[in-house]
Amino acid sequence: MTNINSNCVGGDIKLRLFQEYFCAIELVRKGNRFNIDLKVADIYDIEDTRVDRLFREFTAASLGKINKDFDIKSMKKEDLMSSLIVIIGENIGTIATLMAENYNLKNIVFCGGFLLENKPLKQILSLLCKFKGKKAIFLKNSEYCGAIGALLFNSK
């Protein structure tokens, strides 16, 4: 196994935005991001055969339903948190699948503390991998991977 890429988006965002991590994950579970995100299915007619069922569930525009007429006060915190987790997940997943394609890899291993009890993020990453013909692998106790990697790096 070789590390071909790492991304600080997950861990950094976790530390900065989600002060109460487990509370934030619970909000994500309760939220409906499609109250504020625009998905592909919102743009294409149901009869349009150019877009398959799986792709219809992808994000066309994060926060895409927020415009000048949108009542920001009506936005639920749960929906915003759900949208943010998808923004993070889709960016990490897109980078990972592109890197895997570049190196001709079939499996992508995801690790880090941001995955800890974060089923919504794992679902996003799994869906992106499936769409790109890759297998998502999530390590147990992966919140320690960064520390172990640093230890191994410094022991050379």
pLDDT at 149 (0 to 100): 78
% residues pLDDT > 90 (the chain): 49
pLDDT at residue number 6: 62
For residue 12, pLDDT beyond 60: no
CA count, 13 A, side-chain hemisphere, 129: 21
pLDDT in tens, 96-128: 999 999 999 999 999 888 888 899 999 999 999
